[in-house]
Amino acid sequence: MKLALCEILSALADETRRKILLKLKEGKISSGDLALALNMTPQALSYHLSKLKKADLIYETRYKNFIYYELNLSVLDEAILWMNDLKGGQS
């Protein structure tokens, strides 16, 4: 894996960050709309988004004055492959 697996697992360990990822599963969303959907202050959301970006689990795009966030599914796929390998490929 390119990133340290501990960064990814640490980001996934937090319930709030998992809620953010579940919301992003629905598609691209602006930071303001994401904060409203999760009933979070922009400051609290920013903290969690920075952790998710550091783990490369999300990426952002900018359009005019807005920042949009999306899932980075390739990193999730890599983590799942690693966990499956750890299990010995069992289902």
CATH code of the domain containing 31: 1.10.10.10
* pLDDT value of position 37: 96
* Structural domain count, the chain: 1
Instruction: Centre a 10 Å sphere on the Cβ of residue 6 and count the other Cβ atoms it contains.
Output: 9
* pLDDT value of position 89: 60
* pLDDT value of position 59: 93
CA distance 79 to 36: 29
Phi, psi (deg, nearest 5) at residue 85: -65, -40
Report pLDDT digits (tens) over 33-68: 999 999 999 999 999 999 999 999 999 999 999 999
* Residue span of the structural domain in which 76 resides: 5-87
* pLDDT value of position 76: 84
